[in-house]
Amino acid sequence: MAGSSCRSPTSTGPRSDSSLPQHNRPTQSPLAVKAVEMIVTTSSTNRIPPGPIGFRHILGNARALGDNAPEFLASLHRRYGDMVRLPLGLFTVNIAYHPNAVQHVLQENNGNYVRGIAYEWFKLFMGQGLLTMDGESWRNRRRLVNPLFHKTAIDAMAEEMVRSTTVVLDGWAASDGPVIEDVVPDMMRISLGALGRIMFDTDLEPDWPRIGAAMQTVIEAIVFQGTVVQLLPSWLSLPYHRRVARAQATMFDMAGRIIEAHRSGTHGDRPDLVNLLLNSTDAATGRPLTTENVRDELMTVFIAGHETTGTGLSWALYELARNPEVQERMFAEAQQVFAGRDPVLSDLSRLAYTKAVTDETLRLHPAVYVYPRQALADDEVDGWHIPAGDSLFLCSYATHRHPEFWSAPSRFDPDRFDPAVAADRPKYAYFPFGGGQRKCIGHAMALMQMQLTLAMIVSRFRITTVPGHSADLSTYVTLRPENGVVLRVEPRSR
């Protein structure tokens, strides 16, 4: 075996929920069935995870996954236990839910797992970027960009994060009276504004409407890879194809202009991502990175960087509106720390409750709700056999609700992240940014942005719900709110 887990395999038996797929009932004799069970259960190397098997489930599984993937994956955990085998048409995936299994795949035996075919979908727009690479090419690129994400570099980003947040909040304050609006676009705007200045030394604010619309189309195109309309030849020039082509052209044009501006010397030698890439060589060839190489990394940061942070901020505001006691506790903390001024880097360590709110938001609403992997060699994960070539999904959405580690898991409760409470919790019971050597390179930057922005918002505004509106799940690349997050935003007296 390539590795093993220390926990004995467990699985809940079938339950009576008729809305979920059932095991096929065996037609063989009870003696034959018992013999098969004995063979399977006495050899951990041959144990195949349970799941909704049988031809009648294949289309149903795919349909349920498309309708509401996070909830469907969570329902499988409730029904079958900590490891599930799920047939999906021509493919079968294994889904691991226990923190031990997550740690095994992401950290202890990570060399046996690559991102695999699922990440091919992203190459339409990200090409060979940090998100889509594997193996030595990934290690070389990660090593190259790591300096931009060291703590000292991230600490210097706080001022730009505050600036991008202030632009949006000043717009809210300029309105007469309370504002009722979908806050998702504004949170995306804050995230992209900070990202543009920090990573590209570029003000993307004037281009926000065009970039925002193109980004939405790009994300939808990634999500719907492999659907019928995408499989039709592009020469048919259907409205879908034309819309995606326009969005791709918009994003590539923006990246191209940023690259050329840096090449011309307009940005000097500022140590941003673009200059770093333009002054680097490909470790495999010894030659400078091509324009396409640089563009792929810019697109990766555009899509992965701003989308996840903007989504997290949106869900945080939704939860704060629904939990006014949490919001007022955050307000009291911000008042004490800021004392009427804008936040600075040194304030972060004093925003402990705001950090807990951020963590609890990402527990309930992890931007990346599933991490696909593919096994290179046979493995044993949590006592279950994973054959070479099999796909294995790690579902953070469900693990973050695992009842063994989270009491009342659906309740929003930032006190879960009090250090005294969290001390005995397994490390991988919570992994909103993945883990191991492939943990999101920008996780510290995202957390800083969320803390600063949320503290600034509650210090200036009271956020309340709008009757009749709910933010349902929408499974794009990230766990976006389906109908936006429509809130009442009312200035506090200062």
In angstroms, what CA-CA distances link 145 with 139, 157, 238? 10, 16, 39
d(CA 298, CA 258): 9
Closest CA to 97 of 409, 393, 477: 393
Asked if residue 482 lies in contact with residue 470, where contact means CB atoms within 8 angstroms, the answer is no
* CA 67 from centroid of its chain's CA atoms: 18
Question: 440 labelled as ligand-binding?
Answer: yes
Residue spans of alpha helices (H) in 271-405: 273-278, 291-300, 306-322, 324-338, 352-364, 396-399
Q: List 384's β-bridge partners, or say none.
A: 381
In angstroms, what CA-CA distances link 113 with 134, 214, 426, 441? 10, 33, 22, 18
Give 162-175 as a DSSP string.
HHHHHHHHHHHHTS
In angstroms, what CA-CA distances link 407 with 6, 400, 424, 438? 24, 11, 13, 29
d(CA 299, CA 297): 5
| Residue carrying the six token digits 């943990």 | 439
| Residue carrying the six token digits 């469900």 | 398
Asked if residue 254 lies in contact with residue 211, where contact means CB atoms within 8 angstroms, the answer is yes
Question: What residues form the annotated binding site?
Answer: 440
Question: What residues form the annotated binding site for heme?
Answer: 440
